[in-house]
């Protein structure tokens, strides 16, 4: 800032009247943020609606947007896909084992949902939703939780009228009151209990990574989700196929893909389409998978996945296929791309 700013140090009253340059702090470092800069970053929305922009969106508009932008992870009815968050349901489960915490069953403030969707969603393509689109998607999530009717339109004007079922479900941390009287004490050193028995072993439910059974155990855990019933255990590469070491390296790289894509015997579509025979397959052609419009159109134009096109796609998915549903940021390392493509090529 200017030397002029230094002149006004200690003359707060005078400078306040001037309404000119910002008053300097002790160090005179930094510069005044412009109104445009503050508007660009100061997007948070508070429970009382402070920060909400003008706008509106209907359940109907929200449904279309949700299917296109959100359902790939959250399911078309906001029920969640695989281990991605459920946004609807779960009412009445908070006092049971494994409560289901959704926008409807748990979130105390609607502002939280609006703010988070607006600033942080869709995952992998954040800050691309307009205010109206955010109102619409929020309205659809409310509808999915049976909190509003199908003709509901959410706007900055009626925002605070929406009642969140679990609004009164929270208390401020009371550990000091409830727990300190029990835990601030002189610790016992001798004869603290009469006997000790082991009541539970971690090895009974062995889900620790790196142990022999962890893959199966993890698979068993995931079996709770119906789409995970078949675990992809790829067959070794056929003789005369690609370099086995490269394939093995590719299998490791594929761990990053497994959350969304299945491959091998019984592979099904999950968050992403199954990848059996993807090399040589027409783009966007797996039955039963809802591709982005861009991807579907590439297929209609006769585009086929080969090592080159797949490599380009995997390097930066959204550069190659704009508006692809794949939220993955891409494989920046060419060796990783080569390896994973070699791995994919072993599945027909």
Partner 1 sequence: MTDQSGSSTTRRGFLQAGLAAGGAVATAGAARAAGDPLITEVQPWARFTGVGVDAVPYGLPIKFEDDVIRRNVPWLTAETMSSVNFTPIHALDGTITPQGCAFERHHSGAIELRKEDYRLMINGLVDRPLVFTYADLERFPRENHVYFLECAANSGMEWAGAQLNGAQFTHGMIHNMEYSGVPLRTLLEEAGLDAAGTLKDKWIYVEGADASSNGRSIPMDKALDDVLVAFKANGEALRKEHGYPVRLVVPGWEGNMWVKWLRRVEVMDGPVESREETSKYTDTLADGTSRKWTWEMDAKSVITSPSPQSPITHGPGPLVITGLAWSGRGAIERVDVSTDGGMTWRTARLAAPGQDKAVSRFYLDVDWDGSELLLQSRAMDSLGYVQPTKDALRAIRGENSIYHNNGIQTWWVKPNGEAENVEVS
Closest approach, Cβ 1 to partner 1, in A, equals: 10
By CB under 8 A, residue 127 contacts partner 1? yes
By CB under 8 A, residue 187 contacts partner 1? yes
Q: How many CB atoms are closer than 10 A to CB 204? A: 6
Q: Which stretch binds partner 1 (CB under 8 A): 130-138, 196-204, 278-286, 312-320?
A: 196-204
The span from the CA of 335 to the CA of 179, in Å, is: 54
Place of tokens 């948070």: 44
Closest approach, Cβ 74 to partner 1, in A, equals: 11
By CB under 8 A, residue 83 contacts partner 1? yes
Binding residues for partner 1, total number by CB under 8 A: 94
Give the nearer residue to partner 1 in terms of CB position, either 92 or 280.
92
Return the closest-CA partner of residue 161 out of 152, 170, 172, 150: 152
Which letter, b or e, does each residue of 162-199 get, where b requires 16 or more Cβ atoms within 10 Å of its Cβ?
bebbbeeeeeeeeeeeeeeeeeeeeeeeeeeeeeeeee
Residues from 134 through 153 that contact partner 1 (CB under 8 A): none
Of residues 2, 163, 201, 235, which one binds partner 1 by CB under 8 A? 201
Give the nearer residue to partner 1 in terms of CB position, either 106 or 289.
106
What SS3 class is residue 311?
helix
For residue 149, give both structure tokens: 């009717």
Of residues 109, 143, 305, 313, which one binds partner 1 by CB under 8 A? 109
Closest approach, Cβ 241 to partner 1, in A, equals: 27
Cis peptide before 124 (omega within 30 of 0): no
Helix (H) / strand (E) containing 155: strand 153-155
Of residues 100, 153, 160, 218, which one binds partner 1 by CB under 8 A? 218
By CB under 8 A, residue 288 contacts partner 1? no
Closest approach, Cβ 218 to partner 1, in A, equals: 4
Strand bridging mode 56-58 / 153-155: antiparallel
Torsional sign, CA 302, 343, 124, 325? positive
Of residues 111, 145, 324, 345, which one binds partner 1 by CB under 8 A? 111
By CB under 8 A, residue 37 contacts partner 1? yes
The span from the CA of 199 to the CA of 206, in Å, is: 16
Q: Which stretch binds partner 1 (CB under 8 A): 181-189, 239-247, 303-311, 334-342?
A: 181-189
By CB under 8 A, residue 94 contacts partner 1? yes
Q: Which stretch binds partner 1 (CB under 8 A): 56-64, 165-173, 277-285, 315-323?
A: 165-173
By CB under 8 A, residue 22 contacts partner 1? yes
By CB under 8 A, residue 197 contacts partner 1? yes
Closest approach, Cβ 50 to partner 1, in A, equals: 8
Give the nearer residue to partner 1 in terms of CB position, either 46 or 150.
46
The span from the CA of 14 to the CA of 33, in Å, is: 22
What SS3 class is residue 133?
helix
Return the closest-CA partner of residue 284 out of 292, 140, 206: 292
Residues from 238 through 257 that contact partner 1 (CB under 8 A): 255-256
Angle at alpha carbon of residue 203, lines to 200 and 208, rounded to 5°: 120
Closest approach, Cβ 46 to partner 1, in A, equals: 6
By CB under 8 A, residue 329 contacts partner 1? yes
The span from the CA of 163 to the CA of 145, in Å, is: 12
């Amino acid at each position: 800032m200017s030397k002029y700013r230094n002149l006004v140090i200690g003359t707060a009253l005078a400078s306040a009247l001037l309404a000119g340059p910002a008053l300097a702090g002790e160090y005179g470092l930094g510069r005044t943020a412009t109104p445009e800069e503050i508007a660009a970053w100061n997007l948070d929305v508070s429970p009382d609606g402070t920060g909400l922009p003008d706008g509106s969106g209907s359940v109907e508009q929200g449904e279309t947007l949700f299917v296109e932008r959100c359902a790939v992870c959250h399911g078309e009815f906001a029920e969640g896909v695989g281990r991605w968050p459920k946004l609807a349901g779960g009412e009445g489960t908070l006092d049971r084992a494994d409560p289901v915490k959704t926008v409807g069953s748990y979130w105390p403030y609607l502002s939280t949902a609006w703010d988070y969707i607006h600033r942080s969603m869709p995952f992998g393509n954040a800050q691309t939703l307009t205010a109206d689109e955010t109102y619409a998607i929020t309205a659809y999530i409310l509808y999915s939780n049976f909190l509003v009717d199908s003709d509901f339109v959410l706007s900055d004007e009626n925002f605070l009228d929406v009642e969140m079922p679990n609004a009164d479900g929270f208390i401020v941390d009371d550990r000091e009151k409830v727990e300190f009287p029990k835990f601030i004490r002189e610790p016992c050193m001798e004869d603290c209990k009469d006997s000790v028995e082991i009541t539970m072993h971690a090895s009974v439910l062995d889900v620790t990574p790196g142990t022999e059974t962890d893959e199966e155990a993890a698979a068993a855990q995931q079996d709770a989700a119906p789409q995970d019933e078949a675990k992809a255990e790829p067959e070794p590469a056929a003789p005369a196929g690609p370099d086995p070491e490269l394939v093995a390296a590719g299998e490791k790289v594929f761990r990053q893909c497994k959350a969304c894509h299945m491959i091998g015997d019984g592979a099904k579509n999950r968050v992403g389409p199954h990848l059996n025979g993807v090399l040589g397959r027409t783009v966007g052609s797996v039955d039963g998978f809802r591709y982005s419009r861009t991807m579907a159109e590439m297929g209609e134009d006769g585009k086929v996945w080969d090592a080159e096109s797949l490599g380009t796609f995997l390097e930066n998915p959204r550069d190659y296929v704009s508006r692809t549903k794949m939220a993955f940021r891409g494989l920046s390392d060419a060796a990783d791309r080569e390896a994973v493509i070699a791995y994919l090529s072993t599945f027909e």
